[in-house]
């Protein structure tokens, strides 16, 4: 079990409906030492790639991506989320449709900040169905950038997002993959990633 899985067991809270609350250390209140260690871990996993930029999406992805970008010593770009509106200026826009809610959102990045010279590491805190991540991939491909890898802090392995992204051939690393949760017993089972987890 790695440092993140240990922390999830210690401070995560399992709620009915497969909800894992990590808001005391990851996505509302944030433990900066943990974020720094996550940044270092992603650096170790992707340091052989020639990363030129880290790409994430607002809001809670930003804090994690900051520390990843610090270890790689490259700029961070964060995509903005918006209800579908007309965008002025030169923007990459991905329209994403939620699997669980009957709504569409846009993921937006200024064209100034992504181009075909970029080798991207995409970072986010959670991967479930992967709608937001699909939007980030769409934007990166539109920009002609190379996606060198995708780093996720917590993947819900029982939802489809991770499978979709791996099927598409992307190098996806999730620091913790939750196989199952049980709110009644407060248990979380992680996927065994063979020492790399």
Q: For binding to its own copies (CB under 8 A), which residues are involved?
A: 23-24, 28-33, 35-36, 58-60, 62-63, 66-67, 69-70, 73-78, 80, 109-110, 112-113
CB-CB contact of 127 with 162 (8 Å): yes
Q: Which is nearer to its own copies, 36 or 173 (CB)?
A: 36
SS3 99: coil
What's the closest the beta carbon of residue 151 comes to its own copies, in angstroms? 16
What's the closest the beta carbon of residue 75 comes to its own copies, in angstroms? 5
* Strands 13-15 and 19-21, bridge-based pairing: antiparallel
Query: What are the structure tokens assigned to 83, written together?
Result: 């209800």
Q: Which is nearer to its own copies, 109 or 172 (CB)?
A: 109
SS3 42: helix
What's the closest the beta carbon of residue 29 comes to its own copies, in angstroms? 4
Q: Which is nearer to its own copies, 28 or 166 (CB)?
A: 28
**What is the residue-wise DSSP string for 102-162?**
S-EEEEEEEGGG--TT-EEEEEEEEESS-HHHHHHHHHHHHTT-EEEEEEEEEEETTSSHH
CA distance 62 to 79: 9
Bridge partners, residue 13, by sequence: 21
Q: Which is nearer to its own copies, 60 or 106 (CB)?
A: 60
Q: Which is nearer to its own copies, 70 or 191 (CB)?
A: 70
What's the closest the beta carbon of residue 120 comes to its own copies, in angstroms? 13
What's the closest the beta carbon of residue 48 comes to its own copies, in angstroms? 21
CA distance 173 to 166: 10
What's the closest the beta carbon of residue 31 comes to its own copies, in angstroms? 6
Q: Which is nearer to its own copies, 75 or 144 (CB)?
A: 75
């Amino acid at each position: 079990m790695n440092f993140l899985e240990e922390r999830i067991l210690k401070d995560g809270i399992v709620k009915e409906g497969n909800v894992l609350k990590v808001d005391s250390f990851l996505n509302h209140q944030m433990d900066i030492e943990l974020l720094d260690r996550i940044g270092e871990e992603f650096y170790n996993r992707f340091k052989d790639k020639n990363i030129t930029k880290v790409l994430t999406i607002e809001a809670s992805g930003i804090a994690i991506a900051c520390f990843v970008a610090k270890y790689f010593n490259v700029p961070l770009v964060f995509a903005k989320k918006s209800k579908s509106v007309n965008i002025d200026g030169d923007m990459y826009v991905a329209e994403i449709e939620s699997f669980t809610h009957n709504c569409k959102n846009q993921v937006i990045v200024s064209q100034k900040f992504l181009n075909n010279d970029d080798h991207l590491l995409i970072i986010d805190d959670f991967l479930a169905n992967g709608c937001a991540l699909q939007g980030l991939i769409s934007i990166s491909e539109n920009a002609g950038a190379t996606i060198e890898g995708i780093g996720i802090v917590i993947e819900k392995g029982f939802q489809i997002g991770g499978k979709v992204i791996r099927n598409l051939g992307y190098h996806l690393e999730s620091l913790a993959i939750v196989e199952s949760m049980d709110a009644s017993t407060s248990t979380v089972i992680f996927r065994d990633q063979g020492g790399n987890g």
